[in-house]
Amino acid sequence: MEFKGEFVLAVLPLLVCLYWFVRFAAEHRRADAAKKVLTVFFAVCSVLYLCHALLFHLYAETGLPTPLESLWAACSLSVYPIYFLYICRLTAQPASPRLTVQVLAPGLLVALAILCWNNETTDSVRQVLNALQVLSVVIFGYRRLRAFDRKLSELYAETEDKSVLPIRILLVAVLLTAIVSFVLNILGRKYVITNHGMIPFALVPMAVLLFVLGYIGSKRSFRVEQFLTDNPEETPPDAPAENKELGAKIEHLMVTEAYYLRQNVTLTDVAREVGSCRTYVSNYINQELRCSFSDYVNRLRIEHAKMMMMQHDRHGGESKFSSIAQNVGFSGEQSFYRNFRKFTGMTPLAWLEQQRGKA
């Protein structure tokens, strides 16, 4: 029974990776570019953790044969770069062929060196390179994800189904898991294998992280291709002579005509309606109103929702928040509740009860 338990734990990351690889591969034809890169990521992870399983159960005493050791090194030094390429695709900044070679080549060269000269020196080089990869992916990947979230908030009113915040949080988990791996590398493989309690400590966190990564990737419905369609490159015309003129047009459209009540309104829609370009409209909202496009639209929606709630309350009617959310332009209750709490600091019901207490 103890052997079976160890076996299950040893192959758990492999099973998780195989599951997501099969899931993503089955959807390959319909998948966007980002999910195709994620498919490759889980394929490489599957090979990596197959080598792990062989190490724990067939080569625990002798260590992996040199060809398998080289394959294991090639995979372990490829997963983080491939994940970075996934982030590049996810943030509408696909890596050029040159950048792809630059991030993948060092690991493959080290794996080749291990195949030719499998010794402590090559293993030390592998560990150092792996540490540098993790730090690079976390730092540069996080920057790209954060910058992309800013772009989303400047283009769309609602970003709940588009934000890459969960993937940014995952990068922190990647760093923590990598630290655990580095500690185990320092302790040595034999120590981990011979001390049975170390196997769960070594593999279960990684299995959980991989499952969450695959789950978030599979649930992400927003395609980068849609972002590129909604955010085409443009050549700004000459700057308007009066910023106040553009501001008056935006205010008339958004406040007087209540353009914010439209669902899925984008910066492109507003720029087209006021006869300007996205750059100038975005700059005006950012610099003069000191907020993002998303906050500007949703603040107007919440103010409108508060008036509707008070009107219903004065006439003895019940405020149906789902109906109000839809009437003021939100695509769903979740977005309405999140923005209401953001701009008022409380839930709609708590705010309504507060207003009743003031009456």
Chain-centroid distance of CA 283 in Å reads 26
Backbone φ and ψ for 156, nearest 5 degrees, come out as -115, 150
Backbone φ and ψ for 266, nearest 5 degrees, come out as -120, 165
Alpha-carbon gap, residue 181 to 175, rounded angstroms? 10
Q: DSSP alpha helices (H): ranges in the chain?
A: 2-26, 33-57, 66-76, 79-90, 97-116, 120-155, 165-187, 189-194, 198-219, 224-230, 243-251, 267-274, 278-287, 293-314, 321-327, 333-344, 348-358
Q: From residue 51, how far is each of 16, 48, 66, 341 by CA, in Å? A: 15, 5, 12, 49
Q: From residue 227, how far is each of 22, 28, 158 by CA, in Å? A: 27, 20, 13
Average pLDDT over residues 14-34: 93
Q: How many CA atoms lie within 13 A of 139 on its CB side?
A: 6
Choose among 212, 192, 289: nearest CA to 246: 289
For residue 1, name the pLDDT band (cuts at 50, 70, 90).
very low
Task: Decide if 309 contacts 299 (C-beta within 8 A).
Answer: no
pLDDT for the residue 311: 86
Chain-centroid distance of CA 151 in Å reads 14
Listing DSSP states for 301-313 in one string gives HHHHHHHHHHHHH
Residue 286 has pLDDT above 80, yes or no: yes
pLDDT for the residue 62: 78
Chain-centroid distance of CA 277 in Å reads 29
Lowest mean pLDDT among 46-55, 70-79, 119-128, 181-190: 181-190
Which domains are seen in the chain, by residue range?
2-229 (1.20.1070.10), 239-290 (no CATH), 295-359 (1.10.10.60)
- As given in the structure block, the two tokens for residue 279 are 């750059």
pLDDT tens digit sequence for 46-96: 999 999 888 877 777 777 899 999 999 999 999 999 999 999 999 999 889
Residue 105 has pLDDT above 90, yes or no: yes
pLDDT for the residue 167: 92
Residue 241 has pLDDT above 60, yes or no: no
Structure letter (DSSP) for residue 259: G
